[in-house]
Chains A and B, each alone.
Chain A
Amino acid sequence: MNSLLSQIAQIFLVVALAPLITGWVRLVKSRLNGRIGASPLQPYRDIYRLLQKEAVVAHSASWVFRAAPYVTFAAVWLAAAIIPTFTTDIVLAPAADLIALVALLAVARFWTALAGMDVGTSFGGLGASREMMIASLAEPAMLMVSFSLSLISGTTSPAHIIGFILGGGIGIEVSMGLALAALVMVAIAENGRIPIDNPATHLELTMVHEAMVLEYSGRHLALMEGAGMVRLTLFMALIGGIFAPWGIATPGAGTAGLALGLGGFLAKCFVLATALAVFETMIAKMRVFRYADFLGGALLLGLLATIFLYVSEAV
């Protein structure tokens, strides 16, 4: 029963929290740039404003264009529902593991890319084509991270991985470090952050994600932006949960444990969001064809993380 309540709480928590985290990243970036910046609550207002506006749909768009925002949002939301945030005791934990998580994010990407191509504009195709190129390297990199985590902990389910690490199953492993590096690089690419993509850009030639959602407006745009925010929260929960699992509540934890887990989760999110803002301020965006080096590096790090397990075993 508890696990069902936690699950429902988590489903709504991630959606409620996501705009705040994005707002926080924007605020910290503004401050670092020497601007005052908008309140971290601004994304809530933006989404509400977009929901009130009528949606403009191009004449050439088909039903795929109108369905894509809903499918994308629901897929990302579902993915966020299965990653433990404040407790590992959630009903949906066995419904999907890390492999399914990668695939759920791929569903969102598939529909967003199709939506980009649906209107028949050059920018939509450009965004879709680049996004699929990025994904063709980022997705395998994330699967290799899952592979090394599953070799270390004996499971691909995020809840069990966290349980294993909390249980003191491992000390400091080289492989965990490599996997963390690879996962962070994938997270940057998947969320379209600098140096892969710039969420604030509207300079045509550098757009990736923005180019795909260029034709969206009103509630459709709100959903696409919301999906991006939830995806960012999801990756923070994943990185924070697996590589710094301390504080997260485990099955059988009482109210105090859940409260501690919730506080820990919020703290982790804000630490990671601040780190993201600092990182993005310090670094410049890459040229499109340098992505392959960056993400190919992530893929190799993931592969090395698995192979290092045996090297360290053999030595």
Chain B
Amino acid sequence: MLIASALSALLALALLGVLAGGEMWRHRVVYFCCGLASLVLLAGGLKHLGTTPGTGPEVVLPIGLPWMQAHFRLDNLSALFMVVVNLSTAAASFYGIGYCSHLPEPRRVTPFFPLFLFGMNAVLIADDAFMFLVSWEFMSLASWLLVLADHKKPENRSAAMIYLMMATFGTFCLLTCFGLLAGAEGGYSFPAMRKATLDSTAGFLVVALALLGAGSKAGLVPLHAWLPLAHPAAPSHVSALMSGVMTKVALYGLIRILFDLHGQVPWGWGPAIMVIGGVTAVLGVLYAVLQDDLKTLLAYSTVENIGVVMIGLGLAIAFKGSGENMLAALALVAGLYHIVNHSIFKTLLFLSAGAVITATGHRDLGRLGGLLKRMPWTGAATLVGAAAIAALPPLNGFVSEWLIFQSLFKGPSLPHWAMKFGVPVVGAMLALAAALAAACFVRAFGIAFLGRPRSREAAEAHQLPYSMRLPMAALAALCIVLGAMPVTVTDALSGVVFPLTGVHFAVSSDLGWPWLSPVSSTRGSYSGTVLVMVGLGLFAVTILLVHGFGTTRVRRADAWDCGHPEDIPESQYTGQSFAQPLRRVFCSSLFGARETVRMPEPGDMAPASLKVRLIDPIWVYLYLGIGRVVDFIADRVNRMQFLTVRRYLLMMFATLVFMLLVVAVRQQK
């Protein structure tokens, strides 16, 4: 009931947003109410998450197709994602109160923002394919309008166009997928789909189409191409939601189909999905580490994290398909934990990117620097977010990566050779992605927030209003809490995975509360709580020892820099120079990275230059290739447009004869 009223409130707010016009306080009211509605939905999700797993309450509304009503249901999986979604939307809405006045045209954002929130929440509680797809489209189109908010820039318009095309493709795949799930009788409600049995061809197609449909929204390589274009084009609080939350809604769709509606995915899909996940993770983070645009960097890092989650989901499918339900539950808990974590720190980082853009007007790393001193709150929160996404203990990102590694290490226990040889390779990819993510965020934080300012605007950056700082602080605090108390989270998640795997799973098996010990206590364990306490203790002892034995005097002086300090900030490392070793090691064959240095002759006054050339293989070989094929076919088909009526009739006749022949042959069998 509460959830229904909150959702209707969001629809009403969209109307209010239209009426807000040029008055800034009205926009602020809309954002504030959006935040309240999100908090209500968050409370609803949390409340349901606490109850025992079951089918959940059902609501049927007499809307939608005439012969079919709209079904909604809140079960544990929906409730978990509702928590994930609304945690971030609440933060982004409250952030919007202060942020909306800095947008070029707030009128183009405020009305669609509540619609976007509504769409995402409606996908989660839809209980039939029709409502699911309608809400999915609602979410896609609302976010498309938000991507177009700053429509005067040509790159935003082309990003929106590509996004629209990919969204259409994704929905088309999902539509076909649900069509197969519904079967010939057309049972479009989810309970009917669960009961239906699929033959092996249909089952195969359902998984493939779900991967294409939901995967294109989530940003799986090679369907990620739109994501780093569209996510950064939107206003930052919307980018935060698109990257942090909308990709999670896509993963919800995938989990719902693969683990719940389909139910019997054969194990062989597991290694396939894991390899897709591993490739997505490594490529995503390699792209990210090369980016100079703060928001594009974050968008590519989303691609990486989706890959990490997919490794967990793939493992869960391999385990479940082989009858190892306990391990499947572990892998699924690990994947879901990472979904929760990523939504929190990615929202935080995008909000902080928005803060940086608001304060300096720049999003290019080459023009930032030294912001930690000018914006201490934002800087500290970003540091927590960067450490969390780099999977450093004791923060939350580490716990989920640890769980994924633990379940990965059990992968070779399956009797399939594909798993025995494939899992170590995927493990190496995951490890590589984790290490590169650390490099990526050392670079991003170090260049933007540390060092000396690289532009006048960065040197004069100003503090932001509390409405923008508090949501970031809250999200940073959550990163710490979810990392320091992992068992509390995994216990909540085990209720979610019970209906999907059929086992009651306790991640803290025999050691008790603060110890995370999947499988058994001798198998390997981790305790964020204990590590935090002992770490803080050792930190205190270090300070006491150093200050006890030595002096506490500090003198401020010029930087030493090996004896030849340069006054100009351009002498610092830039984002590109920081990435150079990584580019040379990892990207010279993968992306065809080439550097050309031009050194003018002595006496020549021309500046020296260093040019870097990179080729995005997926864009060049896949997308442009498809484009060329489409062009080629269009050229050929173009001739058909100018035929005489006689020829058109002939063609229709020929088609009819052909179809009849097909029917005749099939009936012969």
Contacts and interface: CB of A to CB of B under 8 A. Distances in A.
B578 to A, nearest CB: 4
A77 B539 CA distance: 9
Given A55-B553, A113-B446, A121-B561, A150 B524 contact: yes
Contact of A214 (B408, B511, B562, B572): B562
A24 interface: no
Interface stretch (B321-329, B434-442, B605-613): B434-442
Contacts of A124: 561, 573
Interface string A48-78: 1011111111111111101000110111011
Nearest to A114: B446
Contact of A299 (B428, B538, B566, B572): B428
B549 interface: yes
A140 B428 contact: yes
B398 interface: yes
Interface in B527-582: 527, 530-531, 534-535, 538-539, 542-543, 546-547, 549-562, 565-566, 569, 571-573, 577-582
Interface in A78-120: 78, 81, 92, 94-100, 103-104, 106-107, 109-110, 113-114, 117-120
Nearest to A164: B522
A128 interface: yes
Contacts, number: 292
Given A113-B442, A128-B446, A143-B427, A95 B530 contact: yes
A11 interface: yes
A144 B392 CA distance: 18
B370 interface: yes
A10 to B, nearest CB: 12
Contact of B555 (A54, A120, A128, A219): A54
Nearest to A147: B427
A53 B552 CA distance: 9
Given A120-B369, A133-B439, A292 B522 contact: no
B428 A144 contact: yes
A225 B579 CA distance: 27
Interface residues of A, number: 91
Nearest to B514: A95
A117 B402 CA distance: 28
A51 B427 CA distance: 43
Contacts of A157: 522-525
Contact of B573 (A125, A155, A292): A125
Contacts of A11: 538
Interface string A180-193: 00000000000000
B486 to A, nearest CB: 12
Given A100-B526, A128-B446, A151 B553 contact: no
Contacts of A20: none
Given A122-B573, A133-B585, A292-B585, A107 B393 contact: yes
A199 to B, nearest CB: 17
Main secondary structure of the interface of B (DSSP, over half): helix
Contacts of B451: 60, 117-120, 125
> Which among A71, A74, A120, A157 has the highest number of chain B CB atoms within 10 Å?
A120
B420 interface: yes
A199 B632 CA distance: 61
A59 B558 CA distance: 6
A237 interface: no
Contact of A52 (B369, B383, B420, B550): B550
A288 interface: yes
Contact of A160 (B522, B557, B559): B522
Given A107-B393, A155-B523, A121 B565 contact: yes
Interface stretch (A242-250, A262-270, A278-286, A302-310): A302-310
A283 B602 CA distance: 39
Contact of B542 (A77, A96, A150): A77
Given A128-B573, A204-B562, A135 B435 contact: yes
Nearest to A304: B424
A151 B409 contact: yes
Nearest to A159: B522
Given A103-B393, A219-B550, A59 B559 contact: yes
Given A51-B550, A117-B446, A107 B392 contact: yes
B535 A74 contact: yes
A60 B370 contact: yes
Nearest to A141: B431
B442 A132 contact: yes
A197 interface: no
B387 interface: yes
A97 B538 contact: no
A288 B582 CA distance: 12
A154 interface: yes
A62 B559 contact: no
A206 interface: no
A36 B522 CA distance: 49
Contacts of B363: none
B139 interface: no
Contacts of A99: 402, 405-406, 524, 526
Contact of A310 (B412, B525, B561, B584): B412
A310 B420 contact: yes
A97 B559 contact: no
A156 interface: yes
A202 B562 CA distance: 9
B262 interface: no
Given A60-B370, A219-B546, A136 B436 contact: yes
B362 interface: no
Contacts of B552: 219
Nearest to B408: A147
B557 A123 contact: no
A209 interface: no
B524 A59 contact: no
Contacts of A150: 409, 524
Interface string B371-394: 011000001000100010011110
A136 B582 contact: yes
Contacts of A59: 556-559
B421 interface: yes
A11 B537 CA distance: 12
A289 B538 CA distance: 37
B452 interface: yes
B450 interface: yes
Contact of A143 (B431, B531, B555, B566): B431
Contact of A154 (B383, B523, B550, B572): B523
B572 A121 contact: yes
> Which among A54, A78, A133, A155 has the highest number of chain B CB atoms within 10 Å?
A133
A232 interface: no
A70 B515 CA distance: 27
B523 A120 contact: no
Given A96-B526, A154-B523, A214 B390 contact: no
10 contacts: A11-B538, A53-B551, A58-B556, A58-B557, A62-B372, A96-B393, A117-B447, A118-B446, A214-B560, A218-B551
Given A100-B393, A128-B446, 4 more contacts: A54-B553, A56-B554, A107-B387, A151-B412
Interface of A: 11, 48, 50-64, 66, 70-71, 73-75, 77-78, 81, 92, 94-100, 103-104, 106-107, 109-110, 113-114, 117-126, 128-130, 132-133, 135-140, 143-144, 147, 150-151, 154-157, 160, 202, 204, 214-215, 218-219, 222-223, 288-289, 292, 299, 302-303, 306-307, 309-310
Q: Which 8 A-B pairs have the closest CB atoms?
A: A125-B573, A51-B550, A156-B524, A140-B431, A120-B451, A117-B446, A120-B452, A132-B439
